[in-house]
Amino acid sequence: MAGKQRITIALDVMGGDHGAEIVVPAAFNFLKTTDGVDLILVGRQEIIQGLLEGRPADGRISIHNATQEIGMDELPSKALRGKKDSSMRVAIDLVKEGRAHACVSAGNTGALMATARFVLKMLPNVDRPAIITAIPSIEGHTWVLDLGANVDCAAEHLFQFAVMGSELVASVDDVPKPRIGLLNIGQEEIKGNEQVKVAHELLSTSSLNYVGYIEGDGIYLGGVDVVVSDGFVGNVALKSSEGVAKMISHYLKQGFRQNLLTKLAGLLAMPVLKSFRRKIDPRRYNGASLLGLRGIVVKSHGGADSLAFENAIKIARKAVLAKVPERIAHGVEEQLQKRDSV
């Protein structure tokens, strides 16, 4: 599928807060720097064609018409039953049919998860899909899952998340034995709820490179490559991080704008500030993979701009090249066999 063969990625053009006005420019920016990939723009044909006028597509972009759209606040069940010709559903259908290797959407997260699970189905031995993304850390970045797909998780689910996260990082980041940490309220053995404690036991006796419990600050301080949690805790950690980053940015701008002296200091510090902003810029980490499915689906932030959405396309390409679903299926089966033989 990957390698010498061309990759095709379907883009949900109508999804997200900004829709086609963001997705189409992101598609062209992506193609300017990436060879061997074709893009299918899925959505209302007349809107897409209007945005394509004057842009050289050189045959690498095609349009697939879809007559419906899913609102950002629409119920997943309603979208699944009544929006079979939505841009999101059609993009996922293209993956199911083998006409695309992956799809990217900035649309309604709940609808995307429900639709992807219904259309693509789960991999063998995987009970639930999980959302994973990279978060900046002092070592570069740390992958965190689950980020909201599963509010309540059993220990077995957390174990499966660890296996899926390990396989993703091993293939995408080329890390042979990713270090896995289990997010907890402390590193002591007695800390945590029952699900976390049982998951800790399962991971400790596995062949995964499990380093034990980590606290929230461990996501950013390094020492682990993958952090595992249920979707409730993971989502709170992610959104808290985003809030802290915005607060730091606010106070830095406020401080440098106080008077002439602070403005001059800001000019002197500009190279350092730009480097800092680039390292923690959430747009450069945009794109969360839905793991555990029989196909590749990447969720972009709903409010993403063109740079952020372009990064989500890059993540989809990496997942295709790494054959992530196949690796996850093999990894989960291997871990279960080892556990059963003990």
Q: What is the pLDDT of residue 3?
A: 44
- Closest by alpha carbon to 286, among 255, 257, 315? 315
First and final C-alpha spacing in the chain: 36
Domain 1-123+292-323 is of which CATH architecture? Answer: 3-Layer(aba) Sandwich (3.40)
Give the single-character DSSP code of 39: E
pLDDT tens per residue across span 298-307: 999 988 899 9
Q: Exposed (0-12), middle (13-18) or buried (19+): which is 75, by Cβ within 10 Å?
A: middle
Please determine, for residue 261, whether its predicted confidence score (pLDDT) is greater than 80: yes
Q: What is the pLDDT of residue 342?
A: 62
Class for the domain spanning 127-282:
alpha beta
Whether the domain at 1-123+292-323 and the domain at 127-282 fall into the same CATH topology = yes
Q: What is the 3 state secondary structure string of 66-118? A: CCECCCCCCCHHHHHHHCCCEHHHHHHHHHHCCCCCEEEECCCHHHHHHHHHH
Instruction: Quote the CA–CA distance of 39 and 304 in Å, as a whole number.
Output: 19
pLDDT tens per residue across span 98-120: 999 999 999 999 999 999 999 99
Q: What is the mean pLDDT of residues 20-29?
A: 94
- List the domain boundaries for the chain: 1-123+292-323, 127-282
Q: What is the pTM of this model?
A: 0.89
Q: What is the pLDDT of residue 93?
A: 97
Separation in Å, CA 136 to CA 283, 285, 324: 11, 8, 22
Q: What is the mean pLDDT of residues 249-274?
A: 89
Instruction: Quote the CA–CA distance of 244 and 266 in Å, as a whole number.
Output: 21
